[in-house]
Structure 1
Amino acid sequence: MLFIMLLAFLLVYDPIFGKMMFERFVRKLIRNQTTRVSYYYETIAVLWGAVLLLFLAVWQYKVPLTELGLQKVPTFNLLDGNPLNAWISAIVLGLILLYGIVFVVNTLLFVWKPHYFEKIQKEIEEEGYTTYLLPTSTKEKCVWVFVSITAGVCEELLYRSFLMYYLPSLLDTQSVWISLILSSLIFGLAHTYQGVKGAMKATTLGMYFCLLYLVTDSIIPGMILHTLIDLAGVFMMKSRKEKS
């Protein structure tokens, strides 16, 4: 029952009520620029609430945590001698390394050459939802760090660990690819507040995170990478001075 409630939450709350909550936030933000912090706290509370429900279900049904990918050491599950799986593993791990390098370089550029981000900031400002969502004040950026950690941990547990565990039994299938596609589509639906383009990007990113989970057999690398991706939001917008 708890698993069904959690699935209903992912299918209904984020795509419908989450979108309504974001639109309400935008209306408030237009009148009051300090609204972001409250919205951030709401987002954090909702995601951790859903994860609490997940762990209640895990406790009730006595599901081993390893079934959710909660293990420290990656096992590189797809590196099993199959040429296709080996290529998938190499591509996924290569993308991780590439993103790590890009993240470090961008961080250094932001510190030493802030004008490097001016073009990126202009492009972001053309996408309304991003302009509304990303932090601009010092306080917002501090809270955004906790938003990023929350999203990295909670969304990976909900959309990768839970769905990749529950969907095969729900659909009576052993195909990880069906679960991968469906969980990625559900992840995309959760980002419909970003518009069609944003939802498509989220779906693609969801597929990548699912592959990362399958390759390593651990959800931890996805949590770390997801958090780093969201943390990049700290660098994306020009700082706004807070009123004293």
Structure 2
Amino acid sequence: MTISPDFSVASTTVTAALAAFLLIAEPWLGRRAYGSLARRRDAEPRALVRYFTFVLGAWWAYAAVAVAALLLSPGVDAADLGITAPERPVYTIVLIILFAAVTVASGRNFRGLAEQGKNVPGLSSVEAMLPRTGKERGLAVAVAVTDGICAELVYRGLLIAFGIGVLGLNSYLAVALSAVVYALAGSYQGRQGMAAFALFGVFFGGLYLATGSLLLPVVAHVALSLRDLTLPAPDKLRAAPAA
């Protein structure tokens, strides 16, 4: 992947403001919102609906800033943010099929572990977000899809372009920087969550560099989010035998 974005002053200002927000305010906001959800989840039936609505609004607001940064820079085109066809389409399609198969298989395994009451890796850190009703499940799907699209546009597309075009980093350092910022977004899941977010940030960034497009990272991200956010909630599983 080779890009050479030329950010205008206005676009640089907008992107820098968003990057600062993601670096400083967003981790605090994420911890506060998820902590509130965890406390209210059992007592307030609509707690998860409100939380998911807030998350959807936040993600699309971040994406809108990324689009604004693109529109404010004549020297930055959509391809500089990964909004383009993959450089190697056959390679990308094969990887999408393989990744989909692995995600489905791991999802079935996780669901089986959950139904047996066994430990599911990472489940405890997102337990409050797991849906218990049809409406919550529909919103969970919407959040998973939005998360995959908007997170890749912002963290991979915009931040990597900013690192290359404004900070003068090479593509690998720009991916590393975006992974660090992305890791902080997982602070609401604790240290293990931050480590997982960092690894996935590098992974998604690597997919982006390998294909020159956000298509594969978006598909991979959406698949993982769908797998995790549609696992059955522990309370639902405990109620199943009685039902």
1:215 counterpart (197, 205, 210): 210
AA partner of residue 118 (structure 1): E
Q: Which whole-Å CA distance do the structure 2 matches of 1:220 and 1:45 have between them? A: 22
Alignment partner of 2:147 out of 136, 147, 151: 151
2:194 counterpart of 1:181: no
Instruction: State the number of aligned residues.
Output: 221
2:219 maps to which residue?
Answer: 224
Other-structure match for 1:12:
24
Aligned counterparts, 1:1-244, within 5 A: 1-62=13-74, 63-71=76-84, 73-76=85-88, 96-105=96-105, 115=112, 117-119=114-116, 122-124=118-120, 127-173=123-169, 175-238=170-233, 240=236
Instruction: Give the unaligned 5+ runs of structure 2.
Output: 1-12
The CA distance in 1 between the partners of 2:23 and 2:93, in whole Å, is 30
Partner of 1:85 in structure 2? Answer: none
Q: How far 1:179 sits from its partner (Å)? A: 0.9
Deviation, 1:76, is 3.9
TM-score w.r.t. the length of structure 1 is 0.80
Distance in 2 (CA, whole Å) between partners of 1:41 and 1:164 is 28
Q: Which whole-Å deviations, capped at 9, do the CAs of 1:9-48 have from their partners, x for residues lacking one?
A: 2112221122112212222224224311110010000010
* Whole-angstrom distance in 2 between the partners of 1:160 and 1:94: 22
Measured after TM superposition, the shift of residue 131 of structure 1 is 0.9
Identity across the alignment (%): 25
Mapped partners of 1:125, 1:68: distance in 2: 33
2: distance between equivalents of 1:31 and 1:167?
Answer: 44
Partner amino acid for 2:223? L
3-state DSSP class of the match of 2:166?
helix
1:203 counterpart SS class: helix
Using the TM superposition, give the Cα deviation of residue 228 of structure 1 relative to its aligned residue in structure 2, in angstroms. 1.0
AA aligned to 1:8 is A
Which 5+ residue runs of structure 1 have no aligned equivalent?
Answer: 78-89
Q: Distance in 2 between matches of 1:234 and 1:16?
A: 22
| 1:98/1:126 CA distance change after superposition, 3 Å | closer
Distance 1:32 1:58 in 2: 41
Change (3 A) 1:116 1:167: same
Q: Secondary structure at the match of 2:222?
A: helix
CA contact (8 A) 2:113 2:120 kept: no
Q: Give the distance between the partners of 1:224 and 1:150, measured in 2 at CA.
A: 11
Cα distance between partner residues in 2 of 1:126 and 1:165: 31
Q: TM-score, normalised by structure 2?
A: 0.81
